[in-house]
């Protein structure tokens, strides 16, 4: 259930290097709770069909968020850990769309009525690998089976190396009003080391086109920890990004896992910055972005004070889902395409990660769901607590005690004990009414959230979590 939360505090975070080094480790990013590594094969097509059929009809139904995974890329970026298909053959996307539309129809047929869509996102891969005709075809299929809400949030991930003003104009005509632009780094030496050559000018043209054609918001993605990056080189990239003035900036930590992600084997590990240099970069980047007027939202996200993410956090309405931070907390997420993850009611579902298997399951007339889980009462409670920590940096007891009929300190007595070290180090405070992550602890909020993750204490996982910082 959704719980009302008081407005978050607005103090700046504090970069305490000694505590960051001491607490840094590995942990989930909490785009969901329980995390995706806890999904199991006991949740398949039959279970997902039942979940969709049980959605409340009429005015009681939650609005929908739709996610489409479009896995194709023209070239491989060596740092990439996404589920992708590298090809220059556009006809492969035609075949994929044939099956994607089958999946759209299978899911839509199970809904009690035509779903109202408040949020839509095209991710990948590179969604703009699709031709104009292919983009038009997919959007037509979506609109045929779903009602896209006037004023909804419709976003797409953009590779500016493959997109011109005409494509941005088409996207606006199709209804998109937000875009996420991949940059990663503007330094030529870094770009060459990761096989992503992208000029400032071609990036600027796309962002200016987005504003010309009425996009509400532009987000850019940066990565620190890439080969050949230095403190000075990142500073130059940040200055160029600040000139572009995107509404949102994501500053991701590169996780070098060549044993899991084959493209990363082409990266020369000897050229990666040291852990000390990465901390220098992060500290400088946070200071520079805050000086430029950006607000630290959480994790690796920054936004301008006027952006809807910042406003949602200020009002206690920020949410976190599989695409990161969001302003829409009350949506059921339907996911389409290979590897896509959805959330409907008290359940999660994920499609097969293999393209041939995805096609085979749809050829058999079945949904391509291969794993997921039903959430129990404790899962739902902890999900809400972790959401509050990740999004607002505080958890007020009273809404949870009313909504879940618990005595919060008693229910989480063990967790309160585990938080004592955080309290002693000035990262967290517990009062009679709330748990708060203090400014010194905000960069370590994932570590605080892990205390409330029952699965980390009771069940082993084979997952390799990313570094906390």
Binding site listing for S-adenosyl-L-methionine: 67, 79-81, 124-126, 157, 184, 196, 221, 255, 341
3-state secondary structure of 387: helix
CB 140 within 8 A of CB 115: no
What burial class does residue 270 get, using C-beta atoms within 10 Å of its C-beta: 0-12 exposed, 13-18 middle, 19+ buried? exposed
Beta bridge partners of 430: 435
Measured CA distances, 86 to 75, 326, 359 (Å): 6, 29, 18
Cα 182 from chain centre: 14
According to DSSP, the β-strands at 301-303 and 319-321 are unpaired
Sequence-distant (6+) residues with CB within 8 A of 61 are: 55, 112, 113, 115, 116
Element (H, E) at 379: helix 377-392
- As given in the structure block, the two tokens for residue 170 are 């088409």
Cα(76)–Cα(259) distance, integer angstroms? 17
Residue identified by tokens 């990161």 is 324
Angle at the Cα of 439 from the Cα atoms of 437 and 444, rounded to 5 degrees? 60
Which residue positions form the known binding site?
Answer: 67, 73, 77, 79-81, 124-126, 157, 184, 196, 221, 255, 341
Cα(143)–Cα(127) distance, integer angstroms? 18
CB 191 within 8 A of CB 221: no
Nearest residue to 434 (alpha-carbon basis) of 386, 396, 400, 402: 396
Nearest residue to 222 (alpha-carbon basis) of 161, 284, 285: 285
CB 311 within 8 A of CB 289: no
Cα(437)–Cα(370) distance, integer angstroms? 37
């Amino acid at each position: 259930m959704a719980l009302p939360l008081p407005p978050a505090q607005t103090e700046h975070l504090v970069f305490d290097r000694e505590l960051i080094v001491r607490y840094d480790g590995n942990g989930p990013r909490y785009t969901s709770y329980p995390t995706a590594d806890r999904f199991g094969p006991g949740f398949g097509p039959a279970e997902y069909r039942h979940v969709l059929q049980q959605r409340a009809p009429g005015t009681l139904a939650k609005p929908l968020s739709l996610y489409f995974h479009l896995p194709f890329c023209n070239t491989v970026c060596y740092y990439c850990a996404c589920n992708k298909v590298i090809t220059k053959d556009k006809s492969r996307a035609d075949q994929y769309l044939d099956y994607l539309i089958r999946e759209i129809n299978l899911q839509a047929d199970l809904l009690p009525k035509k779903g109202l869509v408040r949020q839509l996102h095209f991710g990948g891969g590179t969604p703009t690998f699709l031709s104009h005709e292919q983009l038009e075809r997919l959007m037509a299929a979506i609109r045929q089976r779903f009602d896209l809400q006037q004023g909804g949030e419709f976003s797409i991930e953009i590779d500016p190396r493959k997109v011109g003003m005409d494509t941005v104009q088409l996207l606006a005509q199709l209804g998109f009003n937000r875009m996420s632009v991949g940059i990663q780094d503007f330094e030529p030496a870094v770009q060459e080391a990761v096989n992503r050559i992208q000029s400032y000018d071609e990036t600027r043209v796309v962002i200016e086109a987005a504003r010309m054609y009425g996009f509400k918001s532009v987000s850019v993605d940066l990565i620190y920890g890439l080969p050949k990056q230095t403190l000075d080189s990142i500073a130059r990239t940040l200055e160029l990004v600040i000139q572009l003035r995107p509404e949102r900036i994501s500053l991701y930590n590169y996780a070098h896992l060549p044993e899991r992600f084959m493209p990363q084997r082409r990266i020369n590990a000897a050229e990666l910055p040291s852990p000390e240099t990465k901390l220098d970069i992060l500290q400088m980047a946070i200071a520079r972005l805050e000086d430029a007027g950006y607000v630290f939202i959480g994790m690796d996200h920054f936004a301008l004070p006027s952006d809807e993410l910042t406003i949602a956090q200020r009002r206690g309405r920020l949410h976190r889902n599989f695409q990161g931070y969001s302003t829409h907390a009350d949506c059921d997420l339907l996911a389409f395409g290979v590897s896509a993850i959805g959330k409907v009611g008290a359940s999660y579902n994920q499609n097969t990660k293999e393209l041939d298997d995805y096609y085979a399951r749809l050829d058999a007339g079945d949904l391509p769901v291969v794993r997921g889980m039903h959430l129990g009462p404790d899962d739902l409670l902890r999900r809400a607590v972790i959401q509050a920590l990740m999004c607002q940096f505080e958890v007020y007891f009273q809404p949870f005690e009313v909504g879940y009929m618990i005595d919060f300190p008693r229910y989480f007595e063990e967790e309160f004990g585990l938080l004592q070290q955080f309290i002693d180090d000035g990262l967290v405070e517990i009062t009679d009414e709330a748990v708060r992550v203090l400014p010194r602890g905000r960069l370590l909020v994932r570590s605080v959230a892990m205390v409330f993750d029952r699965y980390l204490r009771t069940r082993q996982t084979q997952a390799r979590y990313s570094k906390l910082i």
